[in-house]
Structure 1
């Protein structure tokens, strides 16, 4: 971890309570009426987008294995604090778990800076400035994780701390 990232992470942790970001209200719930939950599993990953770097991305490439969708914003202190965990999860479960960042509530330049500063470039991150994916999955706050099982069913839509994320992933990958 470089010195700048360490400083930003420490600042993010200190500012989290004051920043007003994080903590979706559907903490740890399974698929209770969410828009994605009502969509057939085969359709959950039937979306495409453009990465923050401008490359096309088709989410159907993640079908057939569990997936973690991380909805984040470039100015969110909670998201900055989670970035190291998301990268670690991506690296640890490569090939067994699809990991996709979905950036919103900011402009592309700020998204690129966040990815660089937080060193999450190994994770595919979509630019959802228009909020279409945030609306599709009924995300109302950052940082929110959406966990999908192997069949594409939404099993959780919530804020999770690092320990809770690891526990959910262990259960999902069992």
Structure 2
């Protein structure tokens, strides 16, 4: 029980419930945008909300932690190898997570066939709140993946805040990660996504 409470507090600390992105995320600096760069790059939306782009973990293999697909069957990130993968780790109680979800859904439609775009919810209640949110916001291109045991968070040593989105190449190796909400269907983000090609 203590572990669950500590985990919830850790995740809550990372999720900024007060601000939602209304504008578009733009790199504050493009000079450091090389895949080999280990520095963090600030992405700013028009309303001043910030996300952080990092190459710190570039080259690391995706964790093998299991999570559930829409039918409740166990899957892992290895099941998506063969194409680039954009993994979004989110929850329905996280305002920036919810704000970026329609643009992530639009990206899933744009990238269909070229890249896997998946969103894995950390909601402890499972698929019910995720399915309700997807219906309410008309998300149609994303499958309601769930991780009720927070196995993915544990695989990342509970060191990520929500939302975090990680780009993997077709071999399952990390290219970069973004901590914070952005608009995923924007041209600037499209350029960053090509780094997995």
Q: Whose Rg is larger? A: 2
Match of 2:174 in 1: 154
Are 1:71 and 1:142, in contact at CA under 8 Å, matched by a contact in 2?
A: yes
Q: Distance in 2 between matches of 1:48 and 1:96?
A: 24
Q: Is residue 61 from structure 1 mapped to residue 79 from structure 2 by the alignment?
A: yes
Number of equivalent positions: 150
What corresponds to 2:196 in structure 1? 172
> How far off its partner does 1:65 sit?
1.3
1: CA distance, partners of 2:181 / 2:88 = 11
Q: 1:116 to 1:148 in 2, by over 3 A?
A: same
Q: 1:131 to 1:151 in 2, by over 3 A?
A: same
2:148 paired with 1:129: yes
Distance change (3 Å), C-alpha of 1:107 and 1:21? farther
Q: 1:150 to 1:160 in 2, by over 3 A?
A: farther
Quote how far apart the aligned CAs of 1:26 are: 8.4
Say whether the 8 Å CA contact 2:19–2:96 is kept in structure 1.
Answer: no
Q: How does 1:1-174 map to 2 (within 5 A)?
A: 19=18, 27-30=52-55, 32=56, 34=57, 41=61, 44=62, 46-108=64-126, 109-138=128-157, 139-158=159-178, 159=180, 161-162=182-183, 163=186, 164-173=188-197
Q: Note if contact 1:21-1:76 (Cα within 8 Å) is conserved in structure 2.
A: no
Unmatched tracts of structure 2, length 5 or more: 1-14, 22-42, 44-49
Q: Is the 8 A contact 2:20 2:95 kept in 1?
A: yes
CA distance in 1, matches of 2:170, 2:156: 18
Partner SS state of residue 145, structure 2: strand
Q: Is the 8 A contact 1:67 1:150 kept in 2?
A: yes
TM-score, with structure 2 as normaliser: 0.63
The alpha-carbon distance between structure 1 residues 28 and 147, as it changes in their structure 2 partners (threshold 3 A), is same
Distance in 1 of aligned mates of 2:139 and 2:101: 6
RMSD: 3.1
Cα pair distance change 1:21/1:81, threshold 3 Å: closer
Shift of 1:98: 0.8
